Copies of this chain bind each other. A is one copy, B any other.
Amino acid sequence: MMHFDMEKIDIAWCPGCGNFGILNVLKRTLVDLKIRPQDLVLVSGIGQAAKTPHYIKANFFNGLHGRALPPATAIKAVNPELKVIVTSGDGDMYGEGGNHFIHAIRRNPDLTVIVHNNMVYGLTKGQASPTSQLGFVTPLQVDGVFEEPFNPLAVAVALNASFVARTSIHDLALTQKLFAQAIQHKGFALVDTFTPCVSFNKVNTRQWYQEHTYIVGDDYDPQDRNEAFKKAVEAEPWPLGVIYKSPAKASFEENLPVYKNNKQPLIDRRVQWEKLEALIESKKI
């Protein structure tokens, strides 16, 4: 596990924050999967969760709030040999980044998308996130949230996402199992990860998650889309596990014409001077 650890760093999270668990499980999974730090890119937006890439020794692209998926998609498209993992927050992914969430699922790039879902905006000190539950009181939502909470799993199923899972960081083993499956899955793999924000979410605590979740049974078939939808809209208790797997489909990169007959990453290709000359020539008439 050593090689993903940073030397001396001052982690900016609060003691007890669920992000520590996600960080550790993720590093362990990466070691288990024998991924080289050099071949890995961690991508995030902005938020507490989005700081994760700073705490793992690998390549990283820590971009703008809400904008993790577009660069991640492009990185994968430019160099499909890289393993690209997005680790970001619920506000980042479903709030500011909602449009990219929808359309990245449609594109199906080979990304692992770990959403640290603490049902709150941590970094900006406690406003509601799209996944905050009804009645959740915050400094901005003084009478409690009344907007229908965003259900990422149901939306992902509606978009026919290729891999849709939910875990909760109170269950480290399940989390590691699902991270590993998601990373190994080809195509867009969402792991919505329940995690406590000890500073700003006093409702959805570690214990609350423990008490309000259950793991889907072995008999559950994530390949049935209608069943998956039913499962996805279940709440209290919330199902954990792989909720949906779409019928196999090509990833975004595989669909790109540029890789149809040639697997070389773009960086290894040069300008097609002869063809360009011919193209210019063709403009003489």
Residues in A lying within 8 Å of B, measured CB to CB:
95-96, 98-99, 102-103, 105-108, 130, 143, 146-151, 154-155, 157-160, 225-226, 229-230, 232-233, 249-250, 252, 255, 257
The CA-CA distance from A200 to B159 in the complex, in Å, is 25
Q: Are B229 and A158 in contact (CB under 8 A)?
A: yes
Query: Could you list 19 further interchain pairs (A-B, Cβ under 8 angstroms) beyond the known A103-B130, A148-B249?
Result: A98-B98, A98-B103, A102-B150, A102-B155, A103-B147, A106-B147, A106-B148, A106-B150, A107-B148, A108-B147, A148-B159, A155-B158, A157-B158, A158-B229, A158-B232, A160-B233, A226-B229, A226-B233, A229-B229
Chain B residues in 8 Å Cβ range of A108 = 147-148
Chain B residues in 8 Å Cβ range of A230 = 226
Chain B residues in 8 Å Cβ range of A105 = 148
Nearest-CB distance from A171 to chain B (Å)?
A: 25
The CA-CA distance from A146 to B147 in the complex, in Å, is 34
**Highest count of chain B CB atoms <10 Å: which of A98, A146, A249:** A146
Q: Are A158 and B151 in contact (CB under 8 A)?
A: yes
Instruction: Identify whether the interface residues of A are mostly helix, strand, loop, or mixed.
Output: helix
The CA-CA distance from A255 to B107 in the complex, in Å, is 36
Chain B residues in 8 Å Cβ range of A257 = 143
Nearest-CB distance from A76 to chain B (Å)?
A: 15
Instruction: Specify which of B95, B103, B143, B151 is in contact with A159 (CB 8 Å cutoff).
Output: B151
Return the 10 tightest CB-CB contacts between A and B, nearest first. Answer: A154-B158, A98-B99, A158-B158, A99-B99, A146-B255, A229-B229, A106-B148, A106-B147, A155-B158, A98-B102
Chain B residues in 8 Å Cβ range of A159 = 148, 150-151, 154-155
Nearest-CB distance from A271 to chain B (Å)?
A: 20
Chain B residue nearest in CB terms to A146: B255
Instruction: Specify which of B103, B226, B252 is in contact with A226 (CB 8 Å cutoff).
Output: B226
